[in-house]
Amino acid sequence: MKRIHVFTSAACNYIPKVRVLVESVRRWHPEWVVHLALSDALPAGIDLSAEPFDEVHAAAELGIPDFAGWSFCHSIVELSTAIKPFVLQRLLARDDCAGVIYLDPDTVLFSRIDEVAEVLETASIALTPHVTQPERTLDAIMDNEISSLKHGIYNLGFVAVAPTLEGRAFADWWGQRIYHFCRADIPNGLFTDQRWIDLVPAFFEGVCILRTPRLNVAPWNLTQRTLSGTAPEAVEVDGEALGFYHFTGFDSGAHRTMVQRNAAGNTTANALVDWYDAVTRALGDDPLARIPWHYGRYADGSAISAAARLIYRERVDLQQAFPDPFACAAARSYRGWWEAQGRIEYPGLFEPQAVAAEMARLTKALTPGFRGGAQTAQWDVQLLSSHLRQAFGDAGHGRRLARRAWEILRTEGLSGVRRRLVRHGDGRVDG
């Protein structure tokens, strides 16, 4: 029997809040299978078997190439988003998969969302834009439309994918990009996993843009959507039952500020924020909430700085010299190099007042970042031989081949010819 699989991604310290999402999924869709993508490692003695997940997928167990070095390059938010396409690939490959839905850990369902499952019967990918109508004031244009241009047109607190060839191709494509480019780097056009999705309607067939106001309601679209009714049991959006709400930026207080700015005077919106605040406040006392992020520290327990992550990510020689940058037991370790040689080569990164400007300078030019899992392209002799055999047997094919080669050489140079005659590590051939 094929079923919908829904997953979210979080570290151990966020699991108490994830329960609010999972309980809402269990209430409204008990037929779905619920998964946790764990962007963390469980400390000894911690057991998640009593948590409300059907399955837990730890980041280190996803088969991501050179995981130690790769994970070191990410902050907790970056890693939590970076593992999403790899979990998606795993779930789409299951025989019992009718579709996969991702929901951010700070979302909550308030009614059934059957339309999402129904869309996956005919579409391969379903997305929700941050905003679905033009804003009417300059403040809202700057807050919401320009913010969408910076962070991404589609909010990746939600994505749904069908187990079709196109859906699997999307998951593979997304994973290949995210492996190198899951960064919060808006000046270089990157915002973790999200900006890539702007390209999806151009690259893939069967993409459905869900514009219904009841899905993925959040502060950035409250200028366009009106909440009414009683929170949390009977909330409506423009007269429809609220499907799910995204409590983004809640811990920092930004969420409440944005609601007050975009839905000033709306009692239902404010009551919904108060409800989530009350539900989640006590969860901070849960022992899980106090577990430090495993990938935030070296093996000896000392904290990893953002600057140390950046330099490791940018320098292939260090990635090769220290394949496990977390390790500290060996005579030579990345931590040792960073404290000694790093201080000499990058003095600005060790000066609190200069570190921000120095990191901005070092990231001004976009690079591929971590290279450990990159596959070296090789000449595809079989493809070249096939073309030559056809040319010898078919004069027309030979002329077409020569004409095409000249066009590529004239417009793209030798690198363009080579690019079409290489086989990549994933089996893909350019031609």
pLDDT tens for each residue of 73-89: 999 999 999 999 999 99
Considering the four listed CATH numbers 3.40.50.300, 3.90.550.10, 3.90.870.40, 3.40.50.1980, the one that applies to the domain covering 3-285 is: 3.90.550.10
Give the domain ranges of the chain.
3-285, 298-362, 378-423
Q: Which has more pLDDT, 410 or 12?
A: 12
Distances in Å between the Cα of 236 and the Cα atoms of 115, 222, 360 are 16, 13, 44
Determine the straight-line distance between the first and last CA of the chain, rounded to whole angstroms: 40
- Mean residue pLDDT across the chain: 89
Indicate the pLDDT class of residue 322, thresholds 50, 70 and 90: very high
The predicted-structure confidence for 14-67, as pLDDT tens digits, reads as follows 999 999 999 999 999 999 999 999 999 999 889 898 999 999 999 999 999 999
**pLDDT given at position 98:** 97
Residue with tokens 């000499």: 344
Burial class (CB in 10 A: 0-12, 13-18, 19+), 109: buried
Give the whole-number percent of the chain exceeding pLDDT 70: 86
**pLDDT given at position 19:** 96
Helix (H, G, I), strand (E, B) or coil at 138: helix
Judged against a pLDDT cut of 90, whether residue 302 lies above it is answered with yes
Which of 221-225, 368-372, 384-388, 403-407 reaches the highest mean pLDDT? Answer: 221-225
Mean pLDDT of 395-403: 58
pTM: 0.84
Q: Do 328 and 308 meet the contact criterion of CB atoms below 8 Å apart?
A: no
